[in-house]
Amino acid sequence: MSTQQQEQPETQEAPKDPEMKGQQSPQQERLDKKEQGLAEAESVDESDVEGESVHLKVFRYDPEVSGKQEPRFDEFHVPFEKGMTVLDALIFARDEFDSSLTFRHSCRQAICGSDAFFINGSQQLGCKTQISDLQQPVRVEPLPHQEVVKDLVVDMDHFYDQMHAVEPYFQQEDLPEGDLEEQRQPRENREKVKMSTRCIWCGACMSSCNIAAGDNQYLGPAAINKAYKFAMDEREDEEIKEHRLRILEQEHGVWRCQTQFSCTEVCPKDIPLTEHIQELKREAVKKNLKFW
């Protein structure tokens, strides 16, 4: 404050100098001062958080480069920013330190399902996990129980195969009369399947599932949840629901689930997967119960 007051007379003198030699215009001077102040403020900020850098331990593996075929952990120290997510830190590490660091990411707002990693021992979305919530060093690994293509990228083909195996599409054949009639879903029914529609196909549940790890044919929580969405949809006829339950009650269907709740714990969209699987188990039993 005091320096500002001292300099004020100077700025008033400045216009008297017609050629402005050696003198800046008052506006320029003010801008300079502002910039200086901003720079100072920034440098203060930086020195404040200088101690706060994120210690990342990232899994590295590249089968195509002979020197990188042995899996290893690379360590990165990324400057911490308020609100920084694991994905932000990884992007910083890739952009600033090692451009060969490979991982999938797209929307950065937990809806594309590309960046599920094994962070500090649990399957989480990189973009949804705050660094400040994690213990350092932050260990980032590819999803377990899936083949690693490179670094943090895993092969999702098997997961997608399982997702498609439950026929995840609307199969109602009898359409309502009239050209412009819509197939309406009652509000209550929509509410019932609401959570199951939130799946983003990130594969975190499948990776966390102990049973899916040991049984490659098991449909997995995500696929069963997908089937739940359609099986519980009242717009489909009873025969179609029975067809869906026939797929699900196979040996490697719903009965493989042993209610460990691992999938429900890790689901980034908070889908009650175990609940849905259990409900389908009950539906499957009901379908087969005969009292005569």
Partner 1 sequence: MSQSYNRGLIEDFGRWKEFSAGMWAWIFHKFTGWMLIGYLFTHIAVLSTAIGAADGQMMMLAGEEVNVYTGTIQGLESLFIIRVLEVGLLAVAVFHILNGVRLLMVDLGIGLDSQDKSFYASLILTGVITVASVPTFLQGVGF
Instruction: Name which of 93 and 148 has its Cβ closer to partner 1.
Output: 148
Instruction: Name which of 27 and 258 has its Cβ closer to partner 1.
Output: 258
The two beta strands, 138-141 and 53-60, are parallel
Give the 3-state DSSP-derived string for 58-120, with helices as H, strands as E and coil as C. EEECCCCCHHHCCCEEEEEEEECCCCCEHHHHHHHHHHHCCCCCCCCCCCCCCCCCCCEEEEC
125 in Cβ contact with 203 (< 8 Å): no
In the complex, minimum distance from the CB of residue 127 to partner 1, in angstroms, rounded to a whole number: 21
In the complex, minimum distance from the CB of residue 169 to partner 1, in angstroms, rounded to a whole number: 26
In the complex, minimum distance from the CB of residue 160 to partner 1, in angstroms, rounded to a whole number: 14
In the complex, minimum distance from the CB of residue 198 to partner 1, in angstroms, rounded to a whole number: 17
Instruction: Name which of 103 and 118 has its Cβ closer to partner 1.
Output: 118
Instruction: Name which of 144 and 176 has its Cβ closer to partner 1.
Output: 144
Residues that bind partner 1 (CB under 8 A): 61, 63, 69, 71, 118, 121-122, 141, 144-148, 158, 210, 213, 216, 258-262, 264-265, 272, 274-275, 278-279, 281-282
Instruction: Name which of 114 and 262 has its Cβ closer to partner 1.
Output: 262
CA–CA distance, 122 with 89 (Å, rounded to integer): 18
Instruction: Name which of 145 and 269 has its Cβ closer to partner 1.
Output: 145
In the complex, minimum distance from the CB of residue 259 to partner 1, in angstroms, rounded to a whole number: 5
In the complex, minimum distance from the CB of residue 274 to partner 1, in angstroms, rounded to a whole number: 6
In the complex, minimum distance from the CB of residue 284 to partner 1, in angstroms, rounded to a whole number: 12
123 in Cβ contact with 113 (< 8 Å): no
CA–CA distance, 211 with 277 (Å, rounded to integer): 14
Tokens 């451009």 sit at which residue? 99
Instruction: Name which of 111 and 149 has its Cβ closer to partner 1.
Output: 149
Instruction: Name which of 113 and 142 has its Cβ closer to partner 1.
Output: 142
In the complex, minimum distance from the CB of residue 59 to partner 1, in angstroms, rounded to a whole number: 8
Beta bridge mates, 241: none
